[in-house]
């Protein structure tokens, strides 16, 4: 693969898949803290 293709692949996957995972983790953390607050 050419350097430019590798660069664009990394960039695109980071934005899209990375973004998806980031938002998912954020939601999981928020849900956990909300549950914790409710139990407290």
Partner 1 sequence: MSKTEQFSNRWGIILASLGMAIGAGNLWRFPRLAGQYGGSFILLWILFLFIWSIPLLLAEFAIGKKFKKGVIGSFGMLAGKRFTFMGVFITVCTLGIAFYYAVVTTWAIRYLGFSVVNIFDAWFKQTSLSQKLATNPDFLSLFWTNLSNSNWFTVSVFVLVILAGVFVLVRGVNHGLEKANRFLIPTLYIILIIIVIAVLNMENGISGLEYMFAIRWTDFQNPRIWIEALSQSAWSTGAGWGLMMTISSYTRSKEDVTLNTFIGAFGNNTASLLAGMAILPAVFALSATESEAITYLQSGNQALTFTIIPMLFSQLPAGEILAFIFFLALSIAAFTSFLPMIELLQRNLGDLGLTRKKSIFLVLIIFALFGFPSAWSLDFFTNQDWVWGLGLILSGLFIAFGVVKYGMKEFKAELIDTDSDMRIPNLLFYIGIWLILPLGIFLIIWWMSQGYSTNPWFDEHGNWNLLDIYSNASIVTQWAIVLIIAVLLNTIIYKKFVNK
Task: Report in angstroms how near the CB of residue 29 gets to partner 1 at its nearest.
Answer: 10
Q: Which is nearer to partner 1, 4 or 40 (CB)?
A: 4
Of the two residues 5 and 40, which places its CB atom closer to partner 1 in the complex? 5
Q: What's the chain look like in SS3?
A: CCHHHHHHHHHHHHHHHHHHHHHHHHHHHHHHHHHHHHHC
CA distance 12 to 4: 12
Contacting positions for partner 1 (CB under 8 A): 1-2, 4-6, 8-9, 12-13, 15-17, 19-20, 23-24, 26-27, 30-31
């Amino acid at each position: 693969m050419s350097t430019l293709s590798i660069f664009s692949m990394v960039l695109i996957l980071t934005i899209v898949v990375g973004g998806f995972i980031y938002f998912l983790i954020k939601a999981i953390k928020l849900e956990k803290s909300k549950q914790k607050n409710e139990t407290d």
